[in-house]
Amino acid sequence: MNSSLVGNQSGRPFCLLAISYLETINFCLLEVVVIVFLMVLIISGNIIVIFVFHCAPLLNHHTTSYFIQTMAYADLLVGVSCLVPSLSLLHYPIVLSESLVCQIFGYVVSVLKSVSMASLACISIDRYIAITKPLTYNTLVTPWRLRVCILMIWLYSCLVFLPSFRWGKPGYHGDVFQWCANSWNTDPYFTLFIVVMLYAPAAFIVCFTYFNIFRICQQHTKEINERRVRFSSQDGEAGEAQPCPDKRYAMVLFRITSVFYILWLPYIIYFLLESSNVYSNRVASFLTTWLAISNSFCNCVIYSLSNSVFQKGLKRLSGAICASCARQRVAKDSSTSRSKRSSNGCHV
């Protein structure tokens, strides 16, 4: 239970971070600043990703783009949903009851983060198939199967967290609401259910696929270098070791996945400790929750900016925007100069 989370006392606003309360301000200042800052970053970052994918059709020829766009839309919805707790902390009137609002908010954010986590696992599977079965990849991974897989990700995420309305809190996304912090408790069995059905399988898939991808890339690099040395010695030229492109891509994926789990690990650890009544702290609840939510800004942006095709599309779009702005500026300057010449002609 959240024994350390206290309710509203002496007319002061309910704040998870006690240091955020000021006598001259009647709302949770620090919580609002953190949530609004993350909300702006998440929304703006994912809008850029979605805009580039829609305006650069060549990106859609890559199968991973399906999952990247899925993550971008899910993370964009996370940013939009952050508007709910920020308005609550600013004491805007809520039409529905606080208990229902915080339960729905916690469920929605949990589902959206589950979609992102499952999409990362699917990306690792996609890259694993591409490296282990390159000849049959196009027949195994088709656009129709990808769409079915994305639909299954959304359905599965919705079903996994659906029992939260009866079994207990699915996470700490709703603890900015006083009712969720004090009355909506975690259930150890439901926590175990989420770990077994979501966190553990996703982590296992990511670790298994990237470990094997890295091992296969090392083997390919060794074979390529041996062949280069053999042919170079026959030609009388010194051969230089060349890294495998797949290995470089695997390292990029490894760094991206590491960022995801580094941001999520404190949240998962605190979730397990609090569910088992080992440790409970309202500051830790808030910080670990919003640290995990900050990944909605990091995962898609980092992955997409590491993709050379995405970078080309972003450069083309930025160039087109700059060219359009330059044309508008030239047209405005020319119209201004014409108006000046006409006015000078009238005064002659």
pLDDT recorded at residue 347: 47
pLDDT at 183 over 90: no
DSSP 96: S
- pTM of the shown model: 0.76
Spatial CB neighbours of 174, under 8 Å, sequence gap ≥ 6 = 85, 102, 103, 105, 106, 180, 184
pLDDT recorded at residue 337: 60
pLDDT recorded at residue 348: 40
Task: Tell me how far apart the alpha carbons of residues 337 and 348 are, in angstroms, rounded to a whole number.
Answer: 17
- Average pLDDT for 226-249: 59
Of residues 113 and 221, more confidently modeled: 113
Whether 208 contacts 24, CB under 8 Å: no
Of residues 330 and 222, more confidently modeled: 222
Domain 21-228+246-311, what fold?
A: Rhopdopsin 7-helix transmembrane proteins (1.20.1070)
pLDDT recorded at residue 236: 52
pLDDT tens for 66-87 read: 888 888 899 899 888 877 777 7
Task: Tell me how far apart the alpha carbons of residues 199 and 192 are, in angstroms, rounded to a whole number.
Answer: 10
Spatial CB neighbours of 224, under 8 Å, sequence gap ≥ 6 = 242, 244
- How far CA 106 is from CA of 43, 61, 126, 169, 326, in Å, comes to 19, 35, 30, 8, 46
Task: Tell me how far apart the alpha carbons of residues 73 and 78 are, in angstroms, rounded to a whole number.
Answer: 9
DSSP 14: P
The encoded tokens of residue 171 equal 């996470």
pLDDT recorded at residue 148: 92
pLDDT recorded at residue 6: 39
pLDDT at 117 over 90: no
The encoded tokens of residue 33 equal 């600043």
Grade residue 157 by pLDDT with cuts at 50, 70 and 90: very high
- Average pLDDT for 339-344: 54
Identity of residue 112: L
- The mean pLDDT of the chain is 75
| Residue 25 φ then ψ, to 5° | -120, 125
Grade residue 226 by pLDDT with cuts at 50, 70 and 90: confident
The encoded tokens of residue 295 equal 């990944």
Phi-psi region at 157: left, alpha or beta (left = phi > 0; alpha = psi -120 to 50): alpha
pLDDT recorded at residue 151: 94
Percent of residues, the chain, with pLDDT higher than 70:
66
